Amino acid sequence: MVGPCFVSFFFLVNLLSFSQTLDASHCSIKGFPLVKNISELPQGNYGRGGLSHMTVAGSLLHGLKEVEVWLQTFAPGSHTPIHRHSCEEVFVVLKGSGTLYLASSSYKYPGKPEEHFIFSNSTFHIPVNDVHQVWNTNEHEDLQMLAIISRPPVKVFIYEDWFMPHTAAKLKFPYYWDEQCLQETQKDEL
């Protein structure tokens, strides 16, 4: 007969092994089923208060080549940085409202952006390299959106303000939610 201490130890070892397998497969497309429960996908704020980001379908996480889909929720008052990227981006606002700030990339710096009200069931797109920022300006409700980008993984250029020259924008690559998976992918290639 096996004692309770051995059973507990065996259970704990198997649980730790299973947990490590889940962590190891976090960035591997081999462990992902075709149909996924969205509530089981990893999400986080990546050091940005008021943000919840989930990669629903991604290049590094799921092996997609042409597009990537994110589910992002912004608490009241939270926002993206002022940024641009060399890909197209389409948003679908699922819940809440806010403001899209959009400036052309055709000058030496973004300049004063246009303001566009965004709301539940609206959609908008960001042209390649146009500088933009999304704010949840609704004081009472989260802003939740699906974002679809082309050419993943995204390379983001971040601006301190709307009058910072394009040449001074700081490249952030890999972007926060791609950091772990890109590092693991690069290790695999060596």
Ligand-binding site membership of 79 (annotated): no
68 annotated to bind ligand: no
- With beta carbons less than 8 A apart as the criterion, state whether 95 and 142 touch: yes
Do residues 126 and 101 make contact, with C-beta atoms less than 8 angstroms apart?
A: no
Picking from 99, 169, 95, the residue whose alpha carbon sits closest to that of residue 133 is 99
Does 116 count as an annotated binding residue? no
Phi, psi of 22 (to 5 degrees): -65, -45
Residue 85 assigned as binding residue: yes
- Alpha-carbon distance 94 to 97, whole Å? 9
Helix (H) or strand (E) holding 171: strand 170-172
Residues comprising the binding site?
83, 85, 89, 132
Residues comprising the binding site for Zn(2+)?
83, 85, 89, 132
